[in-house]
Amino acid sequence: MDTQYVFSHEDGSPYSDIRSTFKGALKRAGIENFRFHDLRHTFASKLVMAGVDIRAVQELMGHKSITMIMKYSHLSDAHLREAVKRLEVGTDLAQEPLQKTGVPARH
């Protein structure tokens, strides 16, 4: 489908009320306590944990300051554990680049 919209009908036309459509999708999926705005936090967090340059994240999010990126991005516990492991003496992690998930590649 070729459309300029992220959320659209099969014919490519935009939804007239994305929030009600989103709420219906959450209900059908059995997801609770999740707001449409939470998608922005997820997007920022995934970008940061994937190692995307913070200025690029700022541009993609449309934020005027990097401070806002710090408020929007949340690092997973696994990402933080792997960051600390990179400091451990005698491990190969100190030299290994992180995967897109933020976890060092295992061979």
pLDDT digits (tens, 9 = 90+) for 35-64: 989 999 999 999 999 999 999 999 999 999
- Separation of alpha carbons 102 and 82, rounded Å: 8
pLDDT digits (tens, 9 = 90+) for 81-105: 988 888 886 666 556 665 555 555 5
From the CB of residue 44, how many other CB atoms can be counted at a distance below 10 Å? 23
Q: Based on the domain organization, do 41 and 70 belong to the same domain? A: yes
Q: Based on the domain organization, do 43 and 56 belong to the same domain? A: yes
Q: Based on the domain organization, do 69 and 80 belong to the same domain? A: no
pTM value > 0.95: no
Q: Based on the domain organization, do 56 and 85 belong to the same domain? A: no
pLDDT digits (tens, 9 = 90+) for 4-33: 888 888 898 988 888 888 899 999 999 999
In a domain, 8, yes or no: no
| Cβ partners under 8 Å of residue 68, min gap 6 | 58, 61
In a domain, 82, yes or no: yes
pLDDT digits (tens, 9 = 90+) for 61-81: 999 998 888 888 888 999 999
Total number of domains constituting the chain: 2
- Residue 69: domain span: 35-74
> Cβ(46)–Cβ(56) under 8 Å?
no
Q: Based on the domain organization, do 62 and 88 belong to the same domain? A: no
Q: What is the DSSP letter of 15?
A: P
